Amino acid sequence: MKILIINSGSSSIKFQLIQMPQASVLASGMVERIGIEGGSISYKNASNDFSKKINFPDHASGLKKIAELLMDRDLGVIGSADEINAVGHRIVHGGKQFTETTQVTEEVKANIRRLFSLAPLHNPAHLNGIEVAEDIFKNASQVCVFDTAFFTSIPQKAYQYAIPKHFMDDSRIRLYGFHGTSHKYVSEKALEHLGKPDAKLITIHLGNGCSMAAIKAGKAIDTSMGFGPANGLIMGTRAGDIDQSVIFYMQEHLGYSVKEVSDILLKQSGMLGLTGYSDLRDIEAAAAEGDEVCALALEMNAYRIRKFIGAYTAALNGVDAIVFTAGIGENSSTIRSKVCKEMEYIGIELDESLNGQRSKKLREIQSAFSKVKVMVIPTNEELAIATQVFDLMK
């Protein structure tokens, strides 16, 4: 079975065409910096490795280019769209109703649309991806895998907000959590590597969107994102945790509308609001050249992560390993170094020489004196999604 995996982030699309059940990757690649100057697409298969600078105004244009490359006479790996048996879509917000892998129907699409307000940077792009895929791959089954599903194990003491209970019961306002596919994948890899099924883990997913999870014996007990994917860590364009009084003040005293405040906090804040750049690579480069604003933003970013490590160590009553993953977590030795600095009190010590090495494999980067393992585990949400899609379809 050939399964095309579409993993749309807020400013990127990762894709893999996977032959199941062999789990062999026929083609893969990534569209980057969607809606940002300097966009690009990369694509590779067994005999080709292709990349090109292209500005993509939206996710639909990126998906269409992916389809062109897969069927390209020289670079492609399929002769026609009919060779695709299923398309697996990563969906950020499944609300309370979607707790497992689900085949797309008109009702499913309507429910994803109803959740737009909870994930405004993602769910619209996901639905767009489904509709474009339906048009291009007309005979393929379209299947959704929901990021929120992994967090159904979080106990009520962690998922309920301290507001009148009827808001949770009647309007389903509660913590849901996001990036669950990634947190699930890397935590399983970490447990396998450690050989300790009851290990206490803190997984740190750092990309344009960022989140952390506290995981005990493979089950999530808390996570940094909540009702929507806006709170917690400082992200590319999202503010993360912010005093709600700021929101009231912006509306009541500064004259901003609800939509304007939402746009500011979700699309104009985070690293973009602090520095003018949303891509961490640009910020690190500027900081290295002496830009004090960018240097401060990096310190703020790492400081927020350290606070969550402390909180989750308390929630877990200890920690065996912390795991860095996703684009920034896997590739930014700078962020990893800043996060692990001055963390000796809980037994975290980094080996900077190991941290500075590049690898696409699971690796440990703690010093010989560290009581806590520090791991870098490349996430593979696409394979995790393909497995779930195959299990549903077989």
Q: In this predicted structure, what is the pLDDT of residue 204?
A: 98
The percentage of residues in the chain with a pLDDT greater than 70, rounded to a whole number, is: 100
d(CA 215, CA 184): 9
Torsion from C-alpha of 134, 385, 43, 132, nearest 10 degrees = 10
**Would you say residue 325 lies in a domain?**
yes
**Would you say residue 381 lies in a domain?**
no
Quick one: angle between helices 280-288 and 292-316, nearest 10?
120
Q: Are residues 38 and 127 in the same domain?
A: yes
Q: Contact, 145 vs 393, CB < 8 A? A: no
Q: In this predicted structure, what is the pLDDT of residue 122?
A: 81
Q: Where residue 356 sits, what CATH number does that domain have? A: 3.30.420.40
DSSP string, 82-133: GG--EEEEEES--TTT--S-EE--HHHHHHHHHTGGGSTTTHHHHHHHHHHH
111-142 per-position pLDDT tens digit: 999 888 777 778 888 898 899 899 889 999 99
Q: Check whether 301 has a pLDDT greater than 90.
A: yes
Q: How many domains does the chain have?
A: 2
Alpha helix (H) ranges present in the chain?
A: 59-70, 106-114, 123-136, 156-159, 166-171, 180-194, 244-252, 258-267, 270-275, 280-288, 292-316, 326-331, 333-340, 352-355, 381-393
Q: Which residues are catalytic?
A: 147
Q: H-helix or E-strand containing 45? A: strand 40-45
Q: What global pTM score does this model have? A: 0.84
Is position 90 annotated in a ligand binding site? yes
Q: Are residues 9 and 134 in the same domain?
A: yes
Give the pLDDT mean for 312-316. 98
Whose tokens are 């767009």? That residue is: 128
Q: Are residues 231 and 367 in the same domain?
A: yes
Average pLDDT, rounded, for the chain: 93
Give the pLDDT mean for 53-71. 91
The percentage of residues in the chain with a pLDDT greater than 90, rounded to a whole number, is: 78
Angle, CA of 123, 113 and 17, to the nearest 5°: 45
Is position 320 annotated in a ligand binding site? no
Q: In this predicted structure, what is the pLDDT of residue 194?
A: 97
264-278 per-position pLDDT tens digit: 999 999 999 999 998
Residue range of the domain that includes 261: 196-376
Is position 279 annotated in a ligand binding site? yes
Q: Contact, 31 vs 38, CB < 8 A? A: no
Q: Are residues 17 and 126 in the same domain?
A: yes
Q: Are residues 118 and 218 in the same domain?
A: no
d(CA 65, CA 211): 29
Q: Are residues 217 and 128 in the same domain?
A: no
**CB contact set of 296 (below 8 Å; sequence gap of 6+):** 274
* Nearest CA-CA partner of 272 in 300, 244, 240, 235: 235
**Would you say residue 120 lies in a domain?**
yes
**Would you say residue 365 lies in a domain?**
yes
Q: In this predicted structure, what is the pLDDT of residue 96?
A: 77
Whose tokens are 């292709």? That residue is: 50
d(CA 247, CA 241): 12
Give the pLDDT mean for 230-251. 96
DSSP string, 253-266: TS---HHHHHHHHH
Give the pLDDT mean for 221-248. 95
Is position 14 annotated in a ligand binding site? yes
Is position 328 annotated in a ligand binding site? yes
Q: Are residues 130 and 242 in the same domain?
A: no
Is position 33 annotated in a ligand binding site? no
Burial class (CB in 10 A: 0-12, 13-18, 19+), 223: buried
Give the pLDDT mean for 292-300. 98
Q: Are residues 139 and 268 in the same domain?
A: no
Q: In this predicted structure, what is the pLDDT of residue 238?
A: 95
Is position 327 annotated in a ligand binding site? yes
Q: Are residues 102 and 215 in the same domain?
A: no
Among 115, 133, 151, which residue terminates a domain? 151
Q: Are residues 132 and 212 in the same domain?
A: no
Give the confidence band of 97 by pLDDT, cuts at 50, 70, 90. confident
